[in-house]
Structure 1
Amino acid sequence: MILAKKKQRDFHQLSTPWNVVFNLFAGIFAFLCVFPFLFVVIISLTDEGTLAREGYRLIPSEWSFEAYKYVFQTGDTLLRSYGVTIFVTVVGTIISLLFIAFYSYAISRKSFKYRNFFSFFAFFTMLFNGGLVPTYIVVTQLLGLKDTIWSLILPLAVNAFYIMILRTFYSTSVPDAIIESGKIDGAGEFGTFIRLVLPLSLPGLATIALFSTLGYWNDWFNALLYIDNPNLVPLQSMLMRIETNLQFILQNSQNSSLGLEALRNMPQDTSRMAMVVLATGPIIFAYPFFQRYFIQGLTVGAVKE
């Protein structure tokens, strides 16, 4: 018996050379994933003239912060846009999680009489939608959300695809016996969900939260449609406006000597890279908060000794 356990333990252990190979492979793969963003950061810190002469290099001969100075010339506008985006992302993710979690839990329970109807109701919106014009009319005229912060939050609050993902997670990872035990102890549907189902659903909820966070952070289209107030412009939309102004100057630089002078003093490629860093940098630091739950989600249903 002891010999069998020892053989089983040795079977699951890797030898030192193979362990080194797998760790080396994982390290190279991780570096290839991180390298593009690091290279973008390097380009954003490269002098524009050096970039034009030498091209893209890992270690440029001359560094410069002119690209970031150009972007930050907007002053308080950039900080205000960051504040709007952070508020929309945090509040929108919380509201989206509440809607999706409750809806998905209801249609995942076999005891819910109308589960098929509401499942089809959500699935149907994945196949057909009302179109841009009816959506705009509903948001601006029926709901009256034009030029309000809620026009950036509510249109993205419910996603049918996320509902289907979380419904499947509830069906496969939350046993009916746990819910029955809650009912036996006298807990209602809401109490059962909060006390028993919610702790088991953290991996699935973390996945949906990350998807919603990325959706809200990268959204610019709703601001283009519904926002005219400059104090409510989110980060992505503001960076697009900076890029549009840059393109306008480049296209009209040959019409005047003033345009040529502005073109010579303006960082072009490096400013674009700086915008990428400013837009994607903060959201990268949010991933470690979800990583632990992703690992738990990968091990759900695994055989444990």
Structure 2
Amino acid sequence: MNNKNIRSERRFQIFGNIVMIIISLCAVIPLILMVISSFTDNDALIRDGYSFTPHKWSVYAYTYIFSSGNSVPHAYMISIVLTLVGTAVGLTITTLLAYALSRRFLPGRGVLTFIVFFTMLFNGGLVPTYINYTTVFGIKNTFLALLVPSLMLNAFNVLMMKSYFVTGIPDEIMEAAYIDGANEFQAFFRVALPLAKPIVATIALFIGIGYWNDWMNGYIYLTKRTDLYSVQNLLNRMIQNIQALTQNASTVSQATQGLATIPSVSVRMAMAVVGVLPIVIVYPFIQNNFVKGITLGGVKG
């Protein structure tokens, strides 16, 4: 390679690094501002706006969240159990179906793949789904209301994992396992699954984030059992209560007195920090597998 090509490649790498740094800053700076705002005094935040150097620091927003009668630790436990169970079960179903669809000798493989893909384009709608889950499955006001609706297979995850099995695991390895006497289950658990660690970690992250961030299921199906609220449902209800109190403050004197003790602006930032913190902590441990799984799983197979 001549000097001209080397200089051209180096300039391209420098340009690419600059672009990635800018994109990374666009993602990180709002998070930093959110954390700083959550530790800013509410009155200072209203008066001066969002700032990286607030004039007055305060932890009252967090004090309000954890001591205002809302059981945030209990909601955290609900979210943790829901995320762990949902991720384990959802990942198991997704992996088994994706592996089956990746086998070329599977009867009706094309039809089954189309059925999975079809669910990415159309669904039954909210009302039929609600009627089905409440009357047929009877999950309303139970823990299953948080688990089952999101447990239904995500077609994108299935197809991406299927692509990984097709492109990331050589056929020669699978054929060698069959020659050695392995049946389909043994080939899957002893050969395919260990080699699919990157995509398994990636899909686990997708499913886990989906369960952790979900608030719609609890909002729709938990009409009485507020003790089953996940942290997202609880924080959403707290925001709604603050908004309701703010809207009625001009006509209700008691609401005005109560509003004066609520950090209505900074508490929203604190709620966002409380909700996103576990994901920020977990992600660095699986980011290497995440990048590799996305790269290989995104190839068509």
Q: TM-score, normalised by structure 2?
A: 0.88
The separation in 1 between residues aligned to 2:67 and 2:92, in whole angstroms, is 39
Q: Secondary structure at the match of 1:41?
A: helix
Distance between the aligned counterparts of 1:19 and 1:126, measured in 2?
A: 37
Match 1:204 to one of 194, 199, 212: 199
Residue 149 of structure 1, CA deviation: 1.5
Larger Rg: 1
In 2, Cα distance between equivalents of 1:71 and 1:229 = 20
Distance 1:203 1:139 in 2: 34
Q: Does 2:251 align with 1:238?
A: no
Match of 1:253? Answer: 249
Code of the residue aligned with 1:196 in structure 2: it is: V
Asked if 1:145 corresponds to 2:145, the answer is no
- CA drift of 1:237 comes to 0.9
Aligned equivalents of 1:131, 1:298: Cα separation in 2:
30
| Residue 287 (structure 2) pairs with residue 291 (structure 1) | yes
1:193 maps to amino acid: F
Structure 2 residue 120 is matched with structure 1 residue 126: yes
Correspondent of 2:148 among 154, 179, 186: 154
Instruction: Give CA-to-partner distance per residue, 1:243-278, whole Å, 9 cap, x none.
Output: 110011101101132222222222111011111111
Distance 1:165 1:224, change over 3 A: same
**Which deviates the most, 268-277 or 114-123?**
114-123
CA 1:21–1:132: 2 relative to 1, 3 Å: closer
Higher mean C-alpha deviation, range 81-90 or range 169-178? 169-178
Unaligned runs of 5+ in 2: none
Alignment-mate amino acid for residue 55 of structure 1: G
1:280 paired to 2:254: no
Q: Counterparts of 2:285 and 2:148 in 1: how far apart (Å)?
A: 24
Alignment of 1:35-114 (within 5 A): 35-75=29-69, 77-114=71-108
Spell out, residue by residue over 1:109-143, the C-alpha distance to the aligned partner (whole angstroms, 9 max, x if none).
11111211211221122222222222122222212
What's the counterpart of residue 3 of structure 1? Answer: none
Rate the CA distance shift 1:14–1:278 in 2: closer, same or farther, 3 A: farther
Change (3 A) 1:144 1:187: same
Q: Secondary structure at the match of 2:55?
A: coil
Give distance in 2, aligned partners of 1:14 and 1:185.
51
SS at match of 1:112: coil
Letter in 2 for 1:284: V
Distance 1:28-1:116 versus aligned 2 partners, 3 A rule: closer
Gaps of at least 5 residues in structure 1 are 1-6
Change (3 A) 1:264 1:299: closer
How far apart are residue 177 of structure 1 and its match? Answer: 1.3
Aligned-pair distance for 1:202? 1.3
Work out whether residues 164 and 296 of structure 2, in 8 Å CA contact, stay in contact via their aligned partners in 1. Answer: no
Counterpart Cα distance in 1 of 2:199 and 2:171: 17
SS of the equivalent of 1:285 reads helix
- Give 1:160-239 correspondences, 5 Å limit: 160-227=155-222, 228-239=224-235
**TM-score scaled by length of structure 1:** 0.87
Q: What code does the residue aligned with 2:125 have?
A: G
Q: Would the alpha carbon gap of residues 162 and 50 (structure 1) be closer, same or farther in structure 2, given more than 3 Å must change? A: same
Dislocated runs of 4+, deviation >3 Å: 11-32, 295-301
User: How is 1:1-40 mapped onto 2 (pairs within 5 angstroms)?
Assistant: 29-40=23-34
Contact 2:70–2:234 under 8 Å retained in 1: no
| Matched positions, count | 295
Relative to 1, partners in 2 of residues 1:298 and 1:234: Cα closer, same or farther, differing over 3 Å? closer
* Aligned partner letter, 1:224: Y
Measured after TM superposition, the shift of residue 295 of structure 1 is 4.0
Q: SS of 1:286's equivalent?
A: helix
User: Which amino acid in structure 1 is aligned with residue 163 of structure 2?
Assistant: T
Q: CA RMSD in A?
A: 2.7
State the shift of 1:18 in Å: 9.6
What amino acid does structure 1 have at the position aligned with 2:212? W
Equivalent-residue separation in structure 2 for 1:108 and 1:202 (angstroms): 16
Using the alignment, how far apart are the partners of 1:28 and 1:113 within structure 2?
A: 49
- Residue type of the alignment partner of 2:193: L
> What percentage of residue pairs aligned between the two structures are identical?
39
